[in-house]
């Protein structure tokens, strides 16, 4: 299999497509990103790294960060996390409040916003927001083997200024006793976590710990890697998770900045980025690109 040719072919095809989705508009730092950009990077189990397109351009990883915060929170409290957040797909938009009322402030899963806010609240326990974020950045930098990865403070500030729905979710959960810190503290940490900037080369490297392949970084146990991947497959693209599993057949986690981290267990960690989003808030061309990659490589888990 000529993976370089496959990767370059996909990148050329994506560059030529007129349908690019719509960039997120809720903060200027995302609204002003050029929708014509596309990048894909792949880390293989033998350590080889391949990339094509704008693989050196940093972007806001946004909700892709929820994978790292979940790994960190599980490391801190283990299965106790599941007393506060569920493991079922929500079938609702990522920022929906609908089910929270019916389910007494316990979010469906750690990848929708409400569940990620509880997950952040968990790794914040016993720390200041700066210490907690320091722990998260240590985790991400070690996973990617790259100390230059940073938080974009302008993005974090804009998120705080516009994050009314997230404040609503946090206050609602606090009213049910499912938030241990003041909403401003937990959300300040959550918004900074969403504002981590990476390029696809860095993100693909950071995802290697989820591959369960020999010689890859072992940052969490094999069993926990399997469970995080299961959640990525069932919940990682919000109400588009079923469609993504059907089309791609691999666990993935998307972000509203247009990045998706996709894991081919035992084979590869893949990062794709194209800023235009589909109706679910997931990268439009990124989803198509990994669908084609999975078909051409035969990497679907099914
Ligand atoms: O909390 C938010 O709404 C954003 N900072 C992140 C949402 C996101 O990435 C959803 N993904 N598609």
SS3 127: coil
Q: Which range of residues forms the domain containing residue 267?
A: 3-62+197-296
Q: Which residues pair with 236 in a beta bridge?
A: none
Model pLDDT for residues 175-218, shown as the tens digit of each residue: 999 999 999 999 999 999 999 999 999 999 999 999 998 888 89
Distance CA 107, CA 49 (A): 37
**Of all atoms in ligand 1, which is nearest to the CA of residue 116?**
1
Q: Are residues 191 and 232 in the same domain?
A: no
Last-in-domain residue among 158, 177, 195? 195
Mutate to test the pocket of ligand 1, among 31, 113, 283 (most ligand atoms within 8 A of CB): 113
ipTM of the complex: 0.97
Distance CA 6, CA 192 (A): 35
What would the mean pLDDT of 72-84 be, rounded to a whole number?
A: 97
Q: Are residues 58 and 70 in the same domain?
A: no
Residue 281's domain is classified under what CATH number?
Answer: 3.40.710.10
**Of all atoms in ligand 1, which is nearest to the CA of residue 277?**
12
Mutate to test the pocket of ligand 1, among 157, 255, 274 (most ligand atoms within 8 A of CB): 255
- pLDDT band of residue 10 (cuts 50, 70, 90) is very high
Ligand 1 pocket, residues with Cβ under 6 angstroms: 62-63, 94-95, 113, 159, 166, 194, 254-256, 281-282
- pLDDT band of residue 95 (cuts 50, 70, 90) is very high
Q: Are residues 149 and 76 in the same domain?
A: yes
Model pLDDT for residues 20-43, shown as the tens digit of each residue: 999 999 999 999 999 999 999 999
């Amino acid at each position: 299999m000529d993976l370089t040719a496959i990767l370059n072919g996909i990148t050329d095809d994506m560059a030529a497509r007129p349908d690019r989705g719509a960039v997120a508009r809720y903060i200027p730092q995302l609204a002003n990103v050029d929708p014509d950009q596309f990048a894909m990077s792949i880390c293989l189990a033998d350590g080889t790294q391949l990339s094509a397109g704008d693989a050196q351009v940093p972007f806001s990883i946004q909700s892709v960060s929820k994978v790292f915060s979940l790994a960190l929170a599980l490391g801190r409290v283990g299965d106790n996390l599941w007393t506060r957040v569920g493991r079922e797909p929500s079938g609702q938009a990522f920022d929906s409040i609908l089910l929270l009322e019916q389910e007494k402030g316990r979010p469906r899963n750690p990848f929708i916003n409400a569940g990620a806010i509880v997950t952040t609240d968990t790794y914040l326990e016993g720390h200041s927001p700066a210490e907690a974020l320091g722990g998260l950045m240590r985790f991400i930098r070690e996973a990617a083997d790259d100390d230059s990865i940073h938080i974009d403070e302008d993005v974090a500030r804009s998120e705080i200024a516009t994050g009314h729905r997230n404040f609503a979710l946090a206050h609602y959960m606090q009213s049910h006793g499912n938030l241990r810190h003041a909403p401003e503290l937990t959300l300040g940490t959550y918004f900074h976590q969403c504002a981590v900037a990476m390029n696809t080369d860095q993100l693909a490297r950071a995802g290697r710990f989820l591959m369960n392949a020999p010689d890859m970084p072992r940052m969490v146990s094999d069993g926990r890697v399997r469970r995080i991947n299961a959640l990525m497959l069932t919940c990682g693209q919000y109400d588009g998770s079923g469609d993504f599993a059907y089309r791609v057949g691999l666990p993935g986690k998307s972000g509203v900045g247009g990045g998706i981290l996709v894991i081919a267990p035992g084979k590869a960690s893949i990062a794709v980025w194209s800023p235009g989003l589909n109706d679910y808030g997931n990268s439009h061309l990124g989803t198509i690109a990994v669908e084609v990659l999975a078909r051409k490589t035969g990497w679907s888990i099914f």
